[in-house]
Amino acid sequence: MDARESVERHQVGGRDGEKSTRVSSLSRIWQRVRIALWGGAGLSLALAVGFGAFAEHISFLTQPTEMPTADGIIVLTGGQSRLSAALDLLKEGKGKRLLISGVNPHAGRKALRVVTGSDKQLFTCCVDIDHLALDTVGNAEQSAKWVAEHDYGRVILVTNNYHMPRSLLEMHRLLPGASVEPYPVVNSRLDDGSWLTKPDALRVLATEYVKYLAALARSVLPANAPAEQKAIMSAAIE
């Protein structure tokens, strides 16, 4: 075999090796793409199933016909119906005191009493107002301080049905030593599956589901997690 033939064979062998390397590299890339596609499909399916279960759970939440007596009552602002339900519970003696959390700083005690049509004596003696909370996390933080201040062991939590899962999650995280009993307020009945055909209801449920997942992720972060991670979770929640 002369030198020319040897060189040609070496060149052919080199091209074959390069071709084999390219094929192997493309195969690995395609394998990774397939794994990513299957992973994305699996995650999307899990999120869809989770949303269905979340929405179904909320749609069947109802106001209890008989609420056992607790030490205190906490209502998270966000609608007149929430305040009315909480004040009714207070009138019925279901709690010693009521905390209204997340009240607009510009809304004074007198104005709030007039708007809710509450009894002046009851409002003066037994209603506390929190102006500091700006979101659900803040509601839980201020509620925890209030519960600790009064040494309460059992409280009733009043908020809308769609907001209840996330509110309970935050309350349980900051009130591990207290029993929190939910009192969901239902403005529109969804237990007939009508949320599937109501764009507004679907939008509210989807938004709340995303916030709930963010709150869930935030709740499992270790206490020494970087501040940046906690800030991202807090921003996602609200």
Domain annotation for the chain: domains and CATH numbers: 72-237 (3.40.50)
Helix/strand/coil for 155: strand
Residue 38 has pLDDT above 70, yes or no: yes
Mean pLDDT value of segment 170-183: 93
Mean pLDDT value of segment 63-86: 91
pTM higher than 0.85: no
Residue 221 has pLDDT above 80, yes or no: no
Long-range contacts, 173-176 (Cβ 8 Å, 24+): 173/140, 173/219, 174/140, 174/141, 174/143, 174/144, 175/140, 175/143, 175/144, 175/147
The alpha carbon of residue 7 and the mean position of all alpha carbons in its chain are separated, in whole angstroms, by 69
More confident residue, 159 or 23: 159
Report the candidate in 138, 201, 142, 144 with the shortest Cα–Cα distance to residue 176. Answer: 144
User: Quick one: 213 exposed, middle or buried, by C-beta within 10 A (0-12, 13-18, 19+)?
Assistant: middle
- Segment 193-210, tens digit of pLDDT: 666 667 788 888 899 999
Residue 114 has pLDDT above 70, yes or no: yes
Position 223 scores a pLDDT of 43
17 confidence band (pLDDT: 50, 70, 90) = low
The alpha carbon of residue 77 and the mean position of all alpha carbons in its chain are separated, in whole angstroms, by 16
Q: What are phi and psi of 158, to 5 degrees?
A: -115, 125
**AA letter at 113:** R
Mean pLDDT is highest, among 36-40, 120-124, 153-157, for 153-157
